[in-house]
């Protein structure tokens, strides 16, 4: 049996020293990191972008099937995705956690391994945070800080009529991964002797447990001198996100079902559960791809990037928000994405 170190043996400051002993700083904008009363950053004339996210055990994640290292990685990625959705580059991160005495130093180390792996991959500096005891459950608060040139940041409210609607990657996979994991959890709770059978669903389970943020898109925009007219990250499902852009930009939209990017692995997983892959993409959430609009004249640049799909266009407000199916039928788009306050 692995040795277990009680967190109480280190104390709060000892734990912080332990977790931050190997921090590497990667950004010139990080003037002072962990180790003082506060961090100091200087973005040298660029605008500062801030976002924060709260993750609570059994609301946002389930430790029955979520490895702590994956959880640390994902906690970072979901915040970086919001920074990228502003067409900005993330530079610093603050992480605060609350945990009960059921967690050992080794368990918290594992969580931080995931945080450091994400910081390394995305070139972000961990510059501070806080730790606290929690009566039950694991609580994670992450604040991400980024930088953007004043003329480059992108909002949800600035799409134009006739703009192309685009998204990165593929959709619906994370939701199918969650369905598989929840099914195996139920079977395990009923009979702990049965080994999990994930049926080679590595792709969709990976999309759920260890997503990636769409950093390459922001780099692509920079190279090709594209500034999207609006952008949002896909955390609550495609339908909810496009409706946010429509509402904030006071426009309608048309999306084509056959243009929505869905991976073969996601399609096959959906069929196993007798689910419609399109419904999973529209309502599933947690894909952390980017949904954005661009002017039609940028189309020739977009086709250079195989990870971008053009799925529709922004319409006049009186035309409503529509999806045209493969069979040519037209339906209203409704928001059926995940809502944190309906549990």
Q: What is the arithmetic mean of pLDDT over 111-136?
A: 94
Q: What is the arithmetic mean of pLDDT over 276-293?
A: 95
Residues 179, 105 share a domain: no
Q: What is the arithmetic mean of pLDDT over 281-304?
A: 95
The answer as to whether 2 is a domain residue is no
Domain containing 71 — which CATH number? Answer: 3.30.1330.10
Beta strands in the chain (DSSP E): 30-32, 40-41, 47-56, 89-99, 125-133, 139-148, 164-168, 230-234, 252-256, 289-294, 308-315, 321-324, 330-332
Residues 273, 206 share a domain: yes
Q: Is the pLDDT of residue 32 over 90?
A: no
pLDDT at 16: 65
Residues 104, 178 share a domain: no
Could you tell me the pLDDT band of residue 25, with boundaries at 50, 70 and 90? confident
Averaged pLDDT of the chain: 91
Q: Crossing angle for the helix pair 105-122 and 11-19, nearest 10 degrees?
A: 40
Q: Is the pLDDT of residue 14 over 80?
A: no
Q: Return the percentage of the chain with pLDDT > 70, whole number.
A: 92
Could you tell me the pLDDT band of residue 19, with boundaries at 50, 70 and 90? low
The answer as to whether 1 is a domain residue is no
Length of the chain: 343
Q: Are 277 and 266 in contact (CB under 8 A)?
A: yes
Domain containing 246 — which CATH number? Answer: 3.90.650.10
Which domain range does residue 113 map to?
7-148
Residues 219, 90 share a domain: no
Q: Is the pLDDT of residue 68 over 80?
A: yes
pLDDT at 24: 75
Q: Crossing angle for the helix pair 105-122 and 68-84, nearest 10 degrees?
A: 30
Could you tell me the pLDDT band of residue 21, with boundaries at 50, 70 and 90? low
Q: Is the pLDDT of residue 69 over 60?
A: yes
Q: Are 113 and 69 in contact (CB under 8 A)?
A: yes
249-284 confidence digits (pLDDT tens): 999 999 999 999 999 999 999 999 999 999 999 999
Q: Is the pLDDT of residue 240 over 90?
A: yes
Instruction: Identify the residue with better confidence: 338 or 43.
Output: 43
The answer as to whether 339 is a domain residue is no
The answer as to whether 154 is a domain residue is no
pLDDT at 342: 45
The answer as to whether 341 is a domain residue is no
Q: Specify the number of domains making up the chain.
A: 2
Distances (CA, A) of 288 to 11, 19, 147, 175: 36, 27, 20, 12
The answer as to whether 343 is a domain residue is no
pLDDT at 200: 75
Residues 78, 137 share a domain: yes
269 Cβ partners below 8 Å, 6+ apart? 173, 176, 177, 179, 180, 201, 204
Q: Which of 140-149, 301-310, 327-336 is the least confident region?
A: 327-336
Q: Is the pLDDT of residue 28 over 90?
A: no
Residues 311, 177 share a domain: yes
The answer as to whether 157 is a domain residue is no
Q: Is the pLDDT of residue 300 over 80?
A: yes
Q: Is the pLDDT of residue 52 over 50?
A: yes
CA-based end-to-end distance of the chain? 37
Residues 220, 311 share a domain: yes
Instruction: Identify the residue with better confidence: 31 or 6.
Output: 31
Q: Is the pLDDT of residue 341 over 50?
A: no
Q: What is the arithmetic mean of pLDDT over 152-167?
A: 97
């Amino acid at each position: 049996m692995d040795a277990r170190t009680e967190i109480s043996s280190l104390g709060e400051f000892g734990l912080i020293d332990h977790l931050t002993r190997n921090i590497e700083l990667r950004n010139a904008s990080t003037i002072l990191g962990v180790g003082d009363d506060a961090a100091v950053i200087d973005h040298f004339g660029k605008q500062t972008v801030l976002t924060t996210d709260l993750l609570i055990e059994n609301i946002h994640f389930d430790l029955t099937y979520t490895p702590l290292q994956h959880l640390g990685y994902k906690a970072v990625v979901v915040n970086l995705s919001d920074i990228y959705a502003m067409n900005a580059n993330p530079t610093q991160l603050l992480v605060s956690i609350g945990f009960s005495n059921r967690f050992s130093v080794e368990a918290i180390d594992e969580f931080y391994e995931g945080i450091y792996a994400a910081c390394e991959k995305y070139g972000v500096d961990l510059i501070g945070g806080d730790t606290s005891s929690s009566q039950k459950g694991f609580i994670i608060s992450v604040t991400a800080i980024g930088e953007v040139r004043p003329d480059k940041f992108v909002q949800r409210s600035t799409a134009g009529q006739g703009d192309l609607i685009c998204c990165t990657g593929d959709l619906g996979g994370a939701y199918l991964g969650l369905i598989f994991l929840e099914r195996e959890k139920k079977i395990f709770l009923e009979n702990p002797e049965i080994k999990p059978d994930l049926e080679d669903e590595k792709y969709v389970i990976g999309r759920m447990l260890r997503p990636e943020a769409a950093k390459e898109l922001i780099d692509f925009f920079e190279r090709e001198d594209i500034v999207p007219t609006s952008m949002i990250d896909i955390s609550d499902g495609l339908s909810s996100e496009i409706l946010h852009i429509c509402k904030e930009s006071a426009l309608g939209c048309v999306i084509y079902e056959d243009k929505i990017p869905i991976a073969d692995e996601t399609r096959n997983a959906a069929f196993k559960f007798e689910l419609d892959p399109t419904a999973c993409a529209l309502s599933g959430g947690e894909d952390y791809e980017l949904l954005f609009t661009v002017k039609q004249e940028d189309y020739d640049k977009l086709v250079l990037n195989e990870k971008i799909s053009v799925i529709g266009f922004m319409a006049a407000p009186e035309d409503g928000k529509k999806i045209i199916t493969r069979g040519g039928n037209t339906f209203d788009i409704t928001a059926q994405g995940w809502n944190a306050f309906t549990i």
